[in-house]
Amino acid sequence: CNSASIMFLLLLLTCPMCLPKGDNKNLTYTYSWPKCKQNHSAANVAGFNSLPGHIKDFLYYRHCRHFPMLLDLPDKCGGPEGSADVFLLLVIKSSPKNYNRREVLRNTWAKERLQNGVWIRRLFILGTQNSGFEKTTLNNLLEIEHRKYKDILQWDFHDTFYNLTLKQILFLEWMETNCPHVRFMLNGDDDVFANTDNMVEYLKNLEDNDGSKHLFAGHLVKNVGPIRYPDSKYYIPVQVYKSESYPLYCSGGGFILSGYTARTIYNMSHSIILLPIDDVYMAMCLEKAGLHPESHSGIKALGLQIPDKSADPYDPCFYREILLVHRFLSVHMLVMWHHLHNPQLNCSLSTKM
């Protein structure tokens, strides 16, 4: 966080009069669901007591798929019918505290615009973070952003790594109602650099697919299975997932998919028990529908391998033709976006990736 943006936030939070007037949206829950109750019998599975707290928590609430919406944008795509005019919907997984990342994205690759004749729209998807005053402050922050930028969807669940699949399912449910005919989507983290100009060009050039056919492309991960070390961020014990292998999946840092495939994944999800690793879960849904993820060489979910070790890893020439790189922080994001839009940018063949 830099101190200037914190000052700006404090100013907004302590001064309600500073908010834009004439837009007093009713911010109460839009969709209400009864509070989902803990499944006490989850504790009966063998070895439950030896599992870490977050895994126990996951098992207790694994069946919960509906949470009230705190911040909704029902008109985001111009209504269900209008949604066919949204060519590329950017669906970015963010956490409430990542205000600075969202700001940079709004001003760079995730800018809403008419690009090459088609519309790009942006959404951040979030839960809640912390508790007490801290939680209230972060919720207030999101309300302010929601009012100002109309790009925030928030549900009332705890925004944690093991709840990412829940977040994705809640989004797909929302999409089914509000934006069912969106052509294509980018689904990714708030720390990726996506060249959305190139993405639009790639998607427009697809033969025979206007979003009504299958597309699911990214960085393919194959021949891996659940990590059984309790200290890993990705730890999945047998009580959560028995098999030793995952289906072929696209890394969740960022992948692109068609509206058709998103709706199919949602449809399949109703009958597949939640697995906390969201990118693997998506692949389980695809598999059930008889569909496959594919590789796109321009999606560098594990970062870019630059052959020349003495070269500047942020030389814009390396990034001219890619679709997405993970991970990029704010300063580089802003500078890179500007460089790539400089008509004077000169690149020799040696930097072509």
Ligand X SMILES: *[C@@H]1O[C@H](CO)[C@@H](O)[C@H](O)[C@H]1NC(C)=O
Which of the residues 262 through 321 are near ligand X (CB under 6 A)? 263-264, 267
CA distances in angstroms from 194 to 170, 299, 328, listed in the order given: 24, 9, 10
Pick 3 or 49: Cβ nearer ligand X: 49
Which residue, among 286, 279, 280, 295, has the nearest Cα to 261 in the 3D structure?
A: 286
Q: Which range in 55-63, 101-109, 115-123, 186-194 contacts ligand X by CB under 6 A?
A: 55-63
Binding region for ligand X (CB under 6 A) out of 73-81, 153-161, 317-325, 327-335: 153-161
What gap in Å lies between CA 35 and CA 41, rounded to an integer? 18
CA distances from 209 to 117, 139, 268 (A): 17, 39, 21
Q: What is the DSSP string of 54-119?
A: HHHHHHHHTT-----EEE--TTTTSHHHHGGGEEEEEEEE--TT-HHHHHHHHHTTT--EEETTEE
Residue 123: enclosing H or E segment and its boundaries? strand 118-128
135 binds ligand X (CB under 6 A): no
Residue among 160, 209, 295, 330 that touches ligand X (CB under 6 A): 160
d(CA 193, CA 82): 28
**SS3 assignment, position 93:** strand
Determine which residue in the list 2, 223, 310, 344 makes contact with ligand X, applying CB under 6 A: 344
Q: Work out how close the CB of 70 gets to ligand X at its nearest, in angstroms, rounded to a whole number.
A: 12
Q: How far is the CB of 302 from ligand X (least distance, A)?
A: 25
CB of 168 to ligand X, least distance (A): 13
One of 99, 119, 157, 281 touching ligand X (CB under 6 A): 157
Q: Which two tokens stand for residue 161?
A: 């790594």
Q: Which stretch binds ligand X (CB under 6 A): 94-102, 135-143, 229-237, 339-347?
A: 339-347
Instruction: Provide the minimum distance between the beta carbon of 69 and ligand X in the complex, in angstroms, as a whole number.
Output: 12
Nearer to ligand X, 49 or 344 (CB): 344
Give the nearer residue to ligand X in terms of CB position, either 258 or 264. 264
- Residues, the chain: 353
Of the candidate spans 102-110, 204-212, 261-269, 309-317, the one that interacts with ligand X by CB under 6 A turns out to be 261-269
Q: In angstroms, how far apart are the furthest CA atoms of the chain?
A: 65
Span near ligand X by CB under 6 A; candidates 14-22, 41-49, 107-115, 247-255: 41-49
Q: Of 183, 121, 181, 196, nearest to 152 (Cα)?
A: 121
What residues between 63 and 92 interact with ligand X by CB under 6 A?
Answer: 63
Of 3, 28, 223, 350, the residue at the interface with ligand X (CB under 6 A) is 28
CA–CA separation, 175 vs 153, rounded Å? Answer: 11
| Coil vs helix vs strand at 337 | helix
Candidate segments 53-61, 99-107, 141-149, 251-259, binder of ligand X by CB under 6 A: 53-61
Residues touching ligand X: how many (CB under 6 A)? 23
Residue 58 found at the interface with ligand X (CB under 6 A): yes
What b-and-e string marks burial along 296-309, b requiring 16 or more CB atoms within 10 Å of the CB?
bebbbbeeeeeeee
Single residue of 12, 42, 306, 353 touching ligand X by CB under 6 A:
42
C-alpha dist (Å) from residue 9 to 78, 110, 111, 140, 173: 30, 21, 21, 10, 32
Q: Nearer to ligand X by C-beta: 119 or 174?
A: 174
For residues 129 and 95, the answer to whether their CB atoms sit within 8 Å is: yes
Q: Which residue, 39 or 295, has its beta carbon nearer to ligand X?
A: 39
Binding site for ligand X (CB under 6 A): 26, 28, 39, 41-42, 44-45, 54, 57-58, 61, 63, 157-158, 160, 162-163, 263-264, 267, 344-346
